[in-house]
Structure 1
Amino acid sequence: MKKLNLCKNPAALVSLLLMSSVNLFPQSLSGEDIIRRVDERYTGDTQKNTTTITLINKRGNSRVREIISYTKDYGDTEKNVMVFTEPRDVAGVGYLAYSYDELGKDDDTWLFLPAMKRSRRISGSSRNDYFMGTDFTYDDMGDRKVEEDTHALKGEEQINGISCWIIESVPKEPGYIYSRRVTWIRQDVLIAVKVEYYDRQGELQKILRTSDITEIDGIWTVRRMEMDNIQNEHRTILEFKNIQYNLPVEDSFFSVATLERGRIR
């Protein structure tokens, strides 16, 4: 249930994927086959990291924020909690999300604002809003299921000398925030290195690029993301640090009450 970004697999299969060359993949893979393999890529049962968020406007002015994040995979559900630690004006703001494998079951998402002293559920049209001034919508941060789109393999291309598949994903449901997404997926480690997002009018809206991809605890990991909003000339850079996998993480971290009590550090 892991995102391109961003899953679950037996350890033996993980080792095979990490060691195998692109020639070991069947030549008749479809777009859906590839996206499903990306979705099933093992990214640990738990993860902890700190993330630096840099917001850059069209004048080149920047703001920097930092968060701490915990993720835990429960099999059919993945839970993620993030809390802002810096600067002072956003410290304590929290985000909690439950992503479900079940088709047709929407993610449960909450945003906690200390000034309000309570959490607000994010649902419906609010999922198209941008998260805390970034160029990522709440929907971007969620877990989009493979079956929700039609995936077509459009070709192959090298990015920085590495072979990538190009996949076009078109939503099946009408009225989705994007009319389509085009994704470049590294064939060696099954990670997206570039995603183009097109708005409902078919115009290019945003481009996501990932870099600094390295192996940590046997898991291939993205350590930098940059989302470039073409239409409003704004950028968001995420840099992931202190990444740790498969450490014990308390179940109590993933509750609204814990978020509101400010227990997560």
Structure 2
Amino acid sequence: MKRILTLFPLLAACLFIQAQDIDIKEIVKRADEKFRGQSSQGTMSMTIQRSNWSRTIEMKSWTLGTDYSLIYISAPAKERGQVFLKRENEMWNWMPSIERTIKIPPSMMMQSWMGSDFTNDDLVKESSLVKDYTHKLLGTEQLEDYECFKIELIPTEEAAVVWGKILMWITMNDFLWLKAEFYDEDDELINTEILSEIRLMDDRMMPTHLEMIPKDKPGQKTSMVFEQIKFNVDLDESFFSIQNMKRIK
């Protein structure tokens, strides 16, 4: 009887998917698109917390689909004016203090972004959760008041990605991404991401507070807060240019 009862959540999830004519990849896609839409423009802040200090970075962001993104650092004064640009599979950093544009190679995508617990890949989504991974439903799990799909993402053989495995928890009703665990190629847990404070942002409900927590670094984490965001704004590919990195404010 106990074995049968443990199968009920997975059976319910499978029946739900069948009834809605949706696959696991589509669930991941919908959860990811909550944060971007066809295009977006917004402001956010990032607080880096360590055992004996913390600092906050403010920024503006623009995205177009999954291939184009631009992030402008507006505070603090020391970093103000830095710009990060992603165009398809390439990423650049404009540094006004030395008036140089630096191309960030794929080998640096796993490195810390602005000294935080987010990687370069996390911020510009160099890898695609939909295209670069296979998706498997592991079951369902309760997170606080939400019944969630628990989904395993394994990179495809041809994908140039930084993670060996990702586990995602996505709500069954509204496809809200609430948690993710990031594993290296040796299947060791590296970071846990917690998403919370679900609010109406423009035309959709979405998590507005993200925490990235390293496993083996007590007292250390980085929080990201979406303060304002508009979706499906009027942007085209020409906005995401190296030349515009030097002009954007």
Q: Show the counterpart of 2:162.
A: 177
Q: Show the counterpart of 1:161.
A: 145
User: Are the counterparts in 1 of residues 191 and 214 from structure 2 also a CA contact under 8 Å?
Assistant: yes
Q: Does 1:112 align with 2:105?
A: no
- Report the TM-score when normalising by structure 2: 0.82
Q: Does 1:257 align with 2:243?
A: yes
Q: Does 1:131 align with 2:110?
A: no
SS of 1:239's partner is: strand
User: Are the counterparts in 2 of residues 196 and 208 from structure 1 also a CA contact under 8 Å?
Assistant: yes
Give the AA of the match of 2:54.
S
Q: Show the counterpart of 2:132.
A: 148
2-side partners of 1:111 and 1:201: how far apart?
31
1:63 alignment partner, one of 46, 55, 58: 55
Deviation at 1:249, TM superposition (A): 4.0
Q: Does 1:235 align with 2:221?
A: yes
Deviation at 1:237, TM superposition (A): 0.4
Deviation at 1:41, TM superposition (A): 5.8
Identify the range of structure 1 (229-238 vs 154-163) with the bigger mean alpha-carbon deviation.
Answer: 229-238
User: Are the counterparts in 1 of residues 193 and 212 from structure 2 also a CA contact under 8 Å?
Assistant: yes
Deviation at 1:140, TM superposition (A): 2.2
Give the AA of the match of 1:239.
V
2-side partners of 1:139 and 1:146: how far apart?
15
Deviation at 1:223, TM superposition (A): 1.2
Relative to structure 1, the CA distance from residue 208 to residue 179 in structure 2 (aligned partners, 3 Å threshold; closer, same or farther) is same
Give the AA of the match of 1:138.
N
- Report the TM-score when normalising by structure 1: 0.77
The residue correspondences of 1:39-118 to structure 2 (distance < 5 A) are 39=32, 43-57=36-50, 59-73=51-65, 78-99=67-88, 107-118=89-100
1:34 alignment partner, one of 27, 39, 55: 27
1:245 alignment partner, one of 231, 239, 242: 231
2-side partners of 1:42 and 1:207: how far apart?
18
SS of 2:148's partner is: strand
Give the unaligned 5+ runs of structure 2.
1-13
Deviation at 1:72, TM superposition (A): 2.5
Identity rate, percent: 27
2-side partners of 1:98 and 1:232: how far apart?
33
The residue correspondences of 1:6-17 to structure 2 (distance < 5 A) are none
User: Are the counterparts in 2 of residues 150 and 172 from structure 1 also a CA contact under 8 Å?
Assistant: yes
Give per-residue Cα distances to partners, 1:126-173, cap 9 Å, x unaligned.
111111111111222314152422221111011121110001111233
2-side partners of 1:46 and 1:29: how far apart?
24
* Root-mean-square deviation (Å): 2.6
2-side partners of 1:154 and 1:236: how far apart?
28
User: Are the counterparts in 1 of residues 109 and 119 from structure 2 also a CA contact under 8 Å?
Assistant: yes
Q: Show the counterpart of 1:201.
A: 186
Relative to structure 1, the CA distance from residue 64 to residue 217 in structure 2 (aligned partners, 3 Å threshold; closer, same or farther) is closer
Give per-residue Cα distances to partners, 1:50-82, cap 9 Å, x unaligned.
11110011x142111101111233xxx632111
Relative to structure 1, the CA distance from residue 148 to residue 55 in structure 2 (aligned partners, 3 Å threshold; closer, same or farther) is same
2-side partners of 1:109 and 1:259: how far apart?
12
1-side partners of 2:181 and 2:213: how far apart?
10
Give the AA of the match of 2:57.
R
Q: Which runs of 4+ in 1 moved over 6 A?
A: none
Relative to structure 1, the CA distance from residue 182 to residue 60 in structure 2 (aligned partners, 3 Å threshold; closer, same or farther) is farther
Give the AA of the match of 2:185.
R
Give the AA of the match of 2:191.
K
Identify the range of structure 1 (210-219 vs 61-70) with the bigger mean alpha-carbon deviation.
Answer: 210-219
